[in-house]
Amino acid sequence: MKLRHFISSLQFTRPELESFFLNAQAIDRLLKTGGLAARKELHERLALFQACSFFYEPSTRTRCSFESAANRLGMSVVSTENAAEFSSTSKGETLEDSTAVLGGLGFDVLIMRHKETGAAERAAKVCNLHGLPMGVVNGGDGTGEHPSQSLLDLYTIWKEKADRGIDGLTVVIGGDLKHGRTVRSLALMLSLFKTKIIFVAPEHFEVQSGVKSGLEGRGIEFREETDPAKALPEADVVYWTRVQRERIADPALLSGLDLSKYVISAETLGTMKPDVTIMHPLPRVGEITTDVDCHPGAAYFRQAWNGLPVRMALLERICLGK
């Protein structure tokens, strides 16, 4: 199916995902081993296209890997990294007006991150007012979704567990599941496969009902725990996340929070399967200690790399329909 806007991880079907991963893997290999000839070939693929990257919220990986992905495909990129301050939003312009203007400037893709849930969908509704076909990519909308992250997360699982495949894996998803958008997008995308999911979160940080009803609708086995020790020994894959402090308005919620049980360290690894894969969307702020980094299953930096070929494959799919 042609993908113009990419707003939610539910837009991919399982067969589409599987062929997408093969495209991403081909790019991944070209980037790693193709040398200058591959760089040149990749650079010609989208040389006639232009992206606009508009980030209203801080970002390291998503913005840099999207912009690098676009540049490596030969796209030119116009970028605003602090749109809340440096765009006309600071003068009171609405998201709708800003997006309509950007759509009218002839960009092929608008990659957007915003603090409000639903912002990317709102942008997609008005971005083609001029009859030009700009696509909107959701680079994270508040506590909503982060679908390009879930693409790279699932691609990471697909690569790390290539010997046995995604079906049949037990995936433990832990941390701040209430405010985290990466966990929401990942759980929904994982529901295309026959996985078992164990959600682990402190009280008041549990996964939201919309995710659970989505999983129930697809017959996915899942359960919830508050104690990581009751879930981690079962995990084939652990997806750990930080507390999204910037999204929590009530200071009482944070002041009573004891996260000591939620730290994965070299010692915790001793309770887990020897071939466990440990993932994290990053940034980490203490919930995985650095003594885990040398474990062969510690995949979070490989996961961040995967953002590059995955986002290149995504841009190709949006611009060329591949």
Instruction: Give the shortest CB-115-to-ligand NCD separation in angstroms.
Output: 11
The β-bridge partners of 198 are 172, 223
**Cβ-count burial 7-46 (b if 16+ within 10 Å, e if not):** bbbeebeeeebeebbebbbebbebbeeeeeeeeeebeebb
Q: Does 259 bind ligand NCD (CB under 6 A)?
A: no
Q: Does 184 bind ligand NCD (CB under 6 A)?
A: no
5 in catalytic set = no
284 in catalytic set = no
Tokens (6 digits) for 20: 């997408």
Among 9, 62, 143, 156, binds ligand NCD (CB under 6 A): 62
End-to-end CA distance of the chain: 9
317 in catalytic set = no
Report, in angstroms and rounded to the nearest whole number, the Rg of the chain calculated over CA atoms.
19
The site that binds ligand NCD (CB under 6 A) totals a number of residues, namely: 11
Instruction: Give the shortest CB-149-to-ligand NCD separation in angstroms.
Output: 5
Residues 102-161 that bind ligand NCD (CB under 6 A): 140, 146, 149
Q: How many CB atoms lie within 10 A of CB 82?
A: 12
Q: Does 311 bind ligand NCD (CB under 6 A)?
A: no
Of 261, 248, 256, nearest to 287 (Cα)?
261
The active-site residue, picked from 61, 179, 181, 184, is: 61
Q: Does 182 bind ligand NCD (CB under 6 A)?
A: yes
159 in catalytic set = no
Polymer length of the chain: 322
Q: Does 242 bind ligand NCD (CB under 6 A)?
A: yes
Which residues contact ligand NCD (rule: CB under 6 A)? 61-62, 140, 146, 149, 181-182, 241-242, 281-282
